[in-house]
Chains A and B, each alone.
Chain A
Amino acid sequence: MSGRAAVLAGLGGWLPPTRITNDDLARQLDTTDEWITTRTGIRQRFVVPPGLSTSDVAIEAGARALASAGTDSVGLLVLATSTPDHPCPATAPEVAGRLGLGEIPAFDVAAVCTGFVYALATASSMIRAGIADSALVIGADTFSTILDPGDRTTRAIFGDGAGAMVLRAGSLWERGALLGFDLASDGSQADLITVPGGGSEYRSKGLAAPGDEFFTMQGRSVFRNAVTRMSESSRRLAKQLDWPLESIDRLVAHQANIRILTAVGNELGLPEEKLVVNLDRVGNTVAASIPLALADAVHTGSIAPGHRLLLCGFGGGLTWGAAALEFPEVSVEPLPGSPAPAESTYTK
């Protein structure tokens, strides 16, 4: 195998301006700050104001990742999202166009909360294969647009946002190279995390019930699968790379629920300080979650150059996966719309 690899060159994230605290939710729904905090670890989330959609948040994060990499051009754009602006066409070409990236290949990848890991694997593979020399990989979702306004559970969990990475062609032996991936899916459990309506199946079969346009999730089974799948995937990838689990400096896992993160840490025998946590301030931002958590941890200094990182995700599909790299020298702007990282309950 050649030593050509995709190397992390830039990182950025963006949160929309409307902040919703647990107390704000408690004023609209039958819930309390304590109920949400103890069950999820989430204290606030950001949502798009009327008029903004996934392309808008994707562009903001993409522009920041390009600035972080010190470039204004890339050869490929892959957008991970499950809340595209339209069912057709994909949102990525519009994002590429509005970012002024020209007529580059651009497409969406849909793997819900695992979307960023899948998109990263796709872009990395295209760079290694020589199809592109650089790429912008964005994870962006606006789940606030598909939640049932009366559902206290999902509204407490999900927030909107976008995170992005710039990759460039380089060598497997340089710091920042994407060293390996582990990807998987299980379609027999597709109904655990779903928006039942709005797709071809429902239109073709004439199915339609009130509320079918909203996102639903079966909490218990999702919890168990999230813990076992992210642990499995991380363990498999570490083994493939010959990385003893204790040599991992930081685990950047999908930010779904603090109790899932803690349980994954326990499964892998990783102490709390190795778990990157920012969900207390942003909630579950779906495809944006991993790059946003990474950007936050770099900004606070929790992740430093040379750190061995495992990124792992789990989401609807079911899908899950992991990616590995040694963190390079990359500067990150603080996330707009978010308070200083030092205010995070879980910042280490």
Chain B
Amino acid sequence: MSAVQEKLTGLLVSQLGVPAAKIEPGITYKDLALDSLALIELTMLINRELGGALDDDVLQGETTIADTVELIESQGVRA
């Protein structure tokens, strides 16, 4: 697991109450039952805690954990 994925997992578990066991690369936010406001909360957390610069509408229900890690890493963040 990359450092970014590890930190993302940490944010989902500690800040948004997602059960750690459910988090895997291919799962979508919809499957994790995160609604649109939870996704903006996550966007803000990623930008603040990991130094990302994600726009408000990047994370959607169909976005997976792997997609998110790729997006964050494509911005040069290595956590």
Contact = CB atoms under 8 A, between A and B. Distances in A.
Interface of A: 39, 219-221, 223-224, 227-228, 257, 259, 263
B10 to A, nearest CB: 15
7 contacts: A39-B35, A219-B36, A220-B40, A223-B40, A224-B56, A227-B44, A228-B44
A263 B41 CA distance: 8
A259 B41 contact: yes
- The dominant DSSP class at the A interface is helix
B57 A224 contact: no
A228 B36 CA distance: 17
- The dominant DSSP class at the B interface is helix
B37 interface: yes
Interface of B: 35-37, 39-41, 43-44, 56-57
Contacts of B36: 219-220
B35 A224 contact: no
Contacts of B43: 224
Contact of B56 (A39, A220, A257, A263): A220
Nearest to A262: B41
A224 B44 CA distance: 7
A267 to B, nearest CB: 9
Chain A CB count within 10 A is highest, among B36, B37, B44, B57, for: B37
A263 B44 CA distance: 10
